[in-house]
Chains A and B, each alone.
Chain A
Amino acid sequence: MIEIKKLNKTFGACRALNDLDITVKPGEIFGFLGPNGAGKTTAVKIISGILRPTSGTVCIGGYDILDDTIKAKRTLAYIPDEPFVYPKLTGYEFLRFIGDIYKVPFSYQKSEIPVLLKLFDLSAFTHELLETYSHGMKQKLLIAGVLLRRPKVLLFDEPTVGLDPKSIKKFKDILSDLAKKGTTIFMCTHILEMAQKLCTKIAIVNFGRLIAEGTMSDLKRIASIDADGDHSLENIFLKLTDSEF
Chain B
Amino acid sequence: MLILLFKRKIITLKNKILAIKGWKIIKNLLFLSVGFGMLGALYVGFYRLLSYLEGIQLIGGMLSWKLTAMLFLITFSMIIVSSIIISMTTLYYSFDLKFLFSCPLDMRVLFLDKAFETVFYSSWTLMLAIFPYIIALGQVKGMDFGFYASYVFLVIPFVMVASSCGIIFSMALMYIFPSSRTRDIVWIMGSLSLSFVYVVFRFSKPEKLIRPDALEVVAQYINYLQAPTAQYFPSWWLTKAVMSYGYSDWSAFLKYSLYLIVLAVIVYAAMTYFSKFLYMKGFSGAQEGVKFKGNDKISFEQKIFNLRIPYKDIILLCWKDRKLFSRDARYWSQIILIGALIIVYLFSIKSLPLDGPDIKSLISFLNIGVAGFVVCAIGLRFIFPAISLEGNNWWIMKSFPISIKSIMISKLLIAGIPSILIGLALIVFSNKFLEADAFISAVSIFTIIIVSITISIMGIGLGALFPDFKVENIHQIESSYGGFIYMACCMGYLALIVAIEAWPVQMHFAHNFGRANAWNFTGVGFCVAAFIILNAVVIIIPWKLGLKNLEKYEI
- Decide whether A and B assemble into one complex: yes
Task: Name which residue of chain B comes closest to A80, CB basis.
Answer: B395
Q: Indicate if A231 sits at the interface (CB-CB under 8 A).
A: no
Q: Which of B312, B396, B401, B554 contacts A70 (CB under 8 A)?
A: B401
Fill in one digit per residue for B308-319: 1 if any A CB lies within 8 Å of its CB, else 0. Answer: 000011001001
Q: Would you give the shortest CB distance from B49 to chain A, in whole angstroms?
A: 46
Task: Name which residue of chain A comes closest to B402, CB basis.
Answer: A101
Indicate whether A127 sits within 8 Å of B401 (C-beta atoms), given known contacts A97-B316, A132-B289: no
The contact size tier of chain A is 20 to 34
A100 vs B392: C-alpha distance in the bound complex, in angstroms? 21
A84/B294 in contact, CB under 8 A: no
B400/A89 in contact, CB under 8 A: no
Give the top 7 A-B pairs by smallest Cβ distance, nearest first: A132-B289, A127-B294, A73-B401, A84-B392, A90-B294, A74-B401, A88-B327
Q: Indicate if A49 sits at the interface (CB-CB under 8 A).
A: yes
A131 vs B324: C-alpha distance in the bound complex, in angstroms? 12
B554/A51 in contact, CB under 8 A: yes
Q: Indicate if B296 sits at the interface (CB-CB under 8 A).
A: yes
B316/A70 in contact, CB under 8 A: no
Q: Indicate if B292 sits at the interface (CB-CB under 8 A).
A: yes
Indicate whether A88 sits within 8 Å of B323 (C-beta atoms), given known contacts A50-B399, A96-B302, A101-B400: yes
The contact size tier of chain B is 20 to 34
B398/A49 in contact, CB under 8 A: yes
A90 vs B313: C-alpha distance in the bound complex, in angstroms? 20
**Which residues of A have CB within 8 Å of B305?**
100
**Which residues of A have CB within 8 Å of B323?**
88-89, 93
B289/A86 in contact, CB under 8 A: no
Q: Would you give the shortest CB distance from A76 to chain B, in whole angstroms?
A: 8
Beta-carbon contacts under 8 Å, B517-555 to A: 552, 554-555
B294/A78 in contact, CB under 8 A: no
Q: Indicate if A171 sits at the interface (CB-CB under 8 A).
A: no
A193 vs B391: C-alpha distance in the bound complex, in angstroms? 35
Q: Indicate if A190 sits at the interface (CB-CB under 8 A).
A: no
Q: Indicate if A52 sits at the interface (CB-CB under 8 A).
A: yes
**Which residues of B have CB within 8 Å of A45?**
555
Q: Would you give the shortest CB distance from A199 to chain B, in whole angstroms?
A: 23
Indicate whether A129 sits within 8 Å of B289 (C-beta atoms), given known contacts A78-B399, A96-B302: yes
A93/B294 in contact, CB under 8 A: yes
Q: Indicate if B223 sits at the interface (CB-CB under 8 A).
A: no
A132 vs B393: C-alpha distance in the bound complex, in angstroms? 16
Q: Indicate if A48 sits at the interface (CB-CB under 8 A).
A: yes
Indicate whether A131 sits within 8 Å of B289 (C-beta atoms), given known contacts A84-B395, A85-B393, A100-B305: yes
A106 vs B401: C-alpha distance in the bound complex, in angstroms? 18
Indicate whether A102 sits within 8 Å of B401 (C-beta atoms), given known contacts A90-B292, A129-B289, A131-B290: yes
Beta-carbon contacts under 8 Å, B265-317 to A: 288-290, 292-296, 302, 305-306, 312-313, 316
Q: Would you give the shortest CB distance from A159 to chain B, in whole angstroms?
A: 15
Q: Indicate if A3 sits at the interface (CB-CB under 8 A).
A: no
Q: Which of B289, B327, B399 contacts A73 (CB under 8 A)?
A: B399
Q: Indicate if B403 sits at the interface (CB-CB under 8 A).
A: yes
Q: Indicate if A237 sits at the interface (CB-CB under 8 A).
A: no
A101 vs B295: C-alpha distance in the bound complex, in angstroms? 20
Report 13 cross-chain contacts, Cβ distance below 8 Å, ordered by A residue.
A50-B555, A82-B392, A84-B391, A84-B395, A84-B396, A88-B327, A89-B323, A93-B294, A97-B316, A100-B305, A101-B400, A127-B292, A129-B327
**Which residues of B have CB within 8 Å of A101?**
313, 316, 400-402
Q: Which of A69, A92, A97 contacts B320 (CB under 8 A)?
A: A97
Q: Which of B292, B396, B552 contacts A129 (CB under 8 A)?
A: B292
Q: Would you give the shortest CB distance from A75 to chain B, in whole angstroms?
A: 8
Q: Which of B290, B293, B328, B395 contacts A127 (CB under 8 A)?
A: B293
